[in-house]
Amino acid sequence: MASTQEKATPCCIPKTNDDVSKKTSSSSSSSSTEVLQNWSLAVGSGPVPSEDPIPKTASMATLIRPVEPISDPSAAKIATTKGISIMPRAQTSHPLDPLSAAEISVAVATVRAAGATPEVRDSMRFIEVVLVEPDKHVVALADAYFFPPFQPSLLPRTKGGPLIPSKLPPRQARLVVYNKRSNETSIWTVELSEVHAATRGGHHRGKVISSKVVPNVQPPMDAMEYAECEAVVKDFPPFREAMKKRGIEDMDLVMVDPWCVGYHSNADAPSRRLAKPLIFCRTESDCPMENGYARPVEGIHVLVDMQNMVVIEFEDRKLVPLPPADPLRNYTAGETRGGVDRSDVKPLQIIQPEGPSFRVNGKFIEWQKWNFRIGFTPREGLVIYSVAYVDGNRGRRPVAHRLSFVEMVVPYGDPNDPHYRKNAFDAGEDGLGKNAHSLKKGCDCLGYIKYFDAHFTNFTGGVETIENCVCLHEEDHGILWKHQDWRTGLAEVRRSRRLTVSFVCTVANYEYGFFWHFYQDGKIEAEVKLTGILSLGALQPGETRKYGTTIAPGLYAPVHQHFFVARMDMAVDCKPGEAFNQVVEVNLKVEEPGKDNVHNNAFYAEEELLRSELQAMRDCNPLSARHWIVRNTRNVNRTGQLTGFKLVPGSNCLPLAGSEAKFLRRAAFLKHNLWVTPYAREEMYPGGEFPNQNPRVGEGLATWVKKNRSLEEADIVLCHTVSLTAHQRLMFLQAQLIWSSRTMTLQQSLSKTG
């Protein structure tokens, strides 16, 4: 994400010269409370040991290793601010800041230069270049002494220990590279520094730390490949002849959407890089806002070798008439579709004449009592780091180290060809972040907006920037609290305001909006909004489908599901590196009739500690109001109970497929709503890093938990699946989907906090 072009721009109101990015005082405190996708987390109000400023003579804890110790402490110029030692800042990028455009360029140039031959260098294609996120202790060191607001209390105290280093470790980039000539995938690690980033003519390079070839995998597809594939298919003579049978000779009308083949048999093995396109057809080549997805082309089977970019299989299996043209299915203005747009809605303005209440310093955000950092990756999109809550004299209280959506899967439930093969892994096969788009045009967000840009590498190694990719703004959220005294008639009402961080991505026909909401009552909510266009099928005249909904003449929407997996690296009341969390499942139970329940009205909450990984594979249960609490084993609230944050799942559903469904061999993590594991750096993606054409069964979460590691006191990571099922009862309008968003909340556990 960009650090130089962060914008704070009012949307739909005249621009002002207000500068949202205000430097925070070095004496300001920060706390960490995190919220995940539509879950509510709440911090306990128990006492925390007092955290006095560290005197100048205090040394860093021994568990933090010095990076480049100062040989002569007297030679180091150490400034002080209110008794806190401030070390010289040897770099301007925080260790968690996304890679800048210059850093990406340096990383790409370094790897390309390391190619053994000109042929190898020329055939390199760059799938992903991301920051190597440092150890949590390095993040703590950076936040304590190198980046304001300085938080020395993040580090544990000892009477002795090594000197604080004069600078942080160099930043590193991790590159996933596909060799188009050899069909090999490799992973590279490159060391960066400010000297390397400040290039003159691009001649300076980083340093290759490691490289390895990953056998038997296919990396995600790229937009450049999709464009090439479309051109190849449209230029294939048998395909042109098949379209001519359907009355289409103008190839400019044809839309070819290359879908990954998934893995159904050995024919899909990753020894070849394959795509199985879906075909659609517009009615007018000069109508850029026409909904071409409303006219699917059925009966044509195409298989494309994406490495060599050739059609290797083609068959015109069944001639199904194209759905009739209908301007009402387009998404242009109403007048162009033979109607009018609504004219009875008066203007609604969201204004903040004194500017927003949040403060921004680089990627560090402060709002109310919340503070956190914003990150962005090509695969996950928005990442929220170091979430904390400032709790009065208790100071900074961490909630989570890292929050993001790491995978999403869209399996279709129609057994007919080609829909049975549609089980997209939109994060792992395509990349949610790389498919994000600019929010600069229009009003995706209302009010006073702070935008952040994002930088990515393209397939050939160039750097592309998505301007205004992430939106930060405040929203009114109705009533937070109200009470009226019936005796006096006096009423008190307090409105709720929330801080929202969001981005929107387009994956072929669908749009997904991801929103992280922070509330004044200590709740965090993660929300996913689904919009865009359905992936449809065509029908013969008079035909209907059991496994879909007829939405227009000759047109139906196949049943399918959407699964979004949120990964929450929790740190409830834990400093970086501490492992003092555990997970408790809570179910509401009805008391048995008897002397303790003579009125048959009694019920109570029953807690069960999830002691190991295999025990912690859990499913939602609305009949018992099931929820989970991540609690700290060393900290209590004012009532003497352990503090914690509660994960409240929303409406949910498991996969509506048989246990032997082909997509479940790649998506075994969908078999449960919640998984709990101890933190491990390499355990990031629930279906493995390379789900595209993945022949391995149960890779990722399903494999990790077999270790059955202890969770009684650990550095806890939650993986929670939020789902939505698109079935016959959904309402459709003009071939566009109208859905409620999917949410989950993390909130205060009232039974465990004051």
Q: Is-catalytic flag, 451?
A: no
For the chain, report the end-to-end CA distance as a whole number of angstroms. 38
Coil, strand or helix at 430: helix
Q: State the DSSP string of 71-83.
A: S-GGGS--EEETT
CB within 8 A of 262, min separation 6: which ones?
268, 421, 423, 662, 663, 666, 693
487: which 2 tokens? 């005796």
Chain CA centroid to CA 514, Å: 7
Q: Are 453 and 5 spatial neighbours (Cβ–Cβ below 8 Å)?
A: yes
Determine which one of 510, 512, 519, 547 is catalytic. Answer: 510
Q: Using the 8-state DSSP alphabet, how is residue 594 labeled?
A: B
Determine which one of 268, 426, 430, 453 is catalytic. Answer: 426
Residue (of 345, 645, 378, 698) closest to 522 by Cα position: 645
Conformational region of residue 660, where left means phi above 0, alpha means psi within -120 to 50, and beta covers everything else: alpha
Conformational region of residue 461, where left means phi above 0, alpha means psi within -120 to 50, and beta covers everything else: left
Conformational region of residue 183, where left means phi above 0, alpha means psi within -120 to 50, and beta covers everything else: left
Q: Is-catalytic flag, 521?
A: no
556: which 2 tokens? 């139906």
d(CA 553, CA 324): 7
Checking DSSP bridges between strand 79-81 and strand 359-361, what pairing results, if any? unpaired
190: which 2 tokens? 């490159």
Place of tokens 């549609």: 422
What sign does the dihedral 306-263-672-579 (CA atoms) show? negative
Q: Write phi, then psi, for 178 (nearest 5 degrees).
A: -105, 130
322: which 2 tokens? 């194209």
d(CA 576, CA 385): 12
Coil, strand or helix at 391: coil
Which segments within 508-554 are labelled E, that is strand?
A: 510-519, 524-532, 537-538, 548-552
Q: Are 473 and 20 spatial neighbours (Cβ–Cβ below 8 Å)?
A: no
d(CA 260, CA 113): 31
Chain CA centroid to CA 341, Å: 34
SS3 of 207-236: EEEEEEEECCCCCCCCHHHHHHHHHHHHCC
d(CA 233, CA 249): 14
Q: Write phi, then psi, for 360 (nearest 5 degrees).
A: -125, 130
Active site residues: 426, 510
